[in-house]
Amino acid sequence: MLTGREALILPCLGRTERDVSRGAADGAGAEQYVTVEDSMSVVKASQGRLAPASDELRSEVAIITGLAAELFGDDLGWTAMGADYSVIREHIARVVPGCADYGARASQAGGFTMPRPPHDSLTFGTASGKAHFTVNPVTAVTVPPGHLLLQTIRSHDQFNTTVYGLNDRYRGVHGGRRVVFVAAKDLAEFGLVDGDLVDLVSVWSDGERRAPAFRIVEYPTPAGCAAAYFPEANVLIPLDSTADTSNTPTSKSVIIRLDRHTGP
């Protein structure tokens, strides 16, 4: 999706909520399911069972197809796709390799596994049919004195950017996510202790970015390094600070300093 100068964040149904389509021509809605692919390339159906938080909520599919039909007309069948997600699965089956009979296979118990040529047949999509390896020089980020190299991480009660709770049993954090993990050696050098409130400040060519009121958690992270949860720490990452080649945000190497929090 192409973003502009302004963006709208629209509420939508969660994957755990019942999704009844509204776009059928006769007005009758049918319960829908989506498909998900896990890290093992297994595709399976996912259908919510909980009552929606509001009767006004629409699914992501309904929002996108509804906007498309209003903006571009319905020549491509946006309304049909919003009313019956199996129409979308039929399109997928026709164009994505390995997805023949997509709907039936995805809805069966256990789903189905997408083709994985390197795993299944030791073949690679290269001219030689073999894997190609590249060698790249190792680079390191230079961190100025008095600063730390921050990485953003997920908590136990989190799936990607969806936060389900305020606890992290992995790291012994309970009842909050606005924390920063810092090594004891660095805390001693900065004159800080576990429990202090600090602002995280990142510096870029266009100025500073500040994430206020983070509680310090003393943690055995390597000296010189720190960690905080995302999306809480996303504000520290400039849009044009990206990794070489992949162009992904530098969420794992953000240079910051810790300022004592002086606000409320």
Non-local (6+) Cβ contacts of 261 within 8 A are: 197, 198, 199, 212, 213, 214
pLDDT for 229 beyond 60: yes
pLDDT at 25 over 50: no
| CA pair distance 99, 105, nearest whole angstrom | 9
Per-position b or e across 68-90, b if 16+ CB within 10 A of its CB: bbeeeeeeeebbbbbbbbbbbbe
Per-residue pLDDT tens digits for 43-84: 999 999 999 999 999 999 999 999 999 999 999 999 999 999
Neighbours of 35 (CB within 10 A): 21
Where do the CATH 2.40.40.20 domains begin and end in the chain? 148-260
State the CATH class of domain 148-260: mainly beta
Q: pLDDT (tens digit, 9 = 90+) per residue, 181-224? A: 999 999 999 999 999 999 999 988 888 999 999 999 999 999 99
Distance CA 185, CA 140 (A): 21
Taking only the tens place, the pLDDT of each residue in 103-142 is 999 999 999 999 999 999 999 989 998 999 989 888 888 9
How long is the chain? Answer: 264
E strand residue ranges, the chain: 34-37, 42-46, 112-113, 148-153, 158-159, 162-163, 179-182, 197-204, 207-218, 225-229, 254-260
pLDDT in tens, 163-176: 889 999 999 999 99
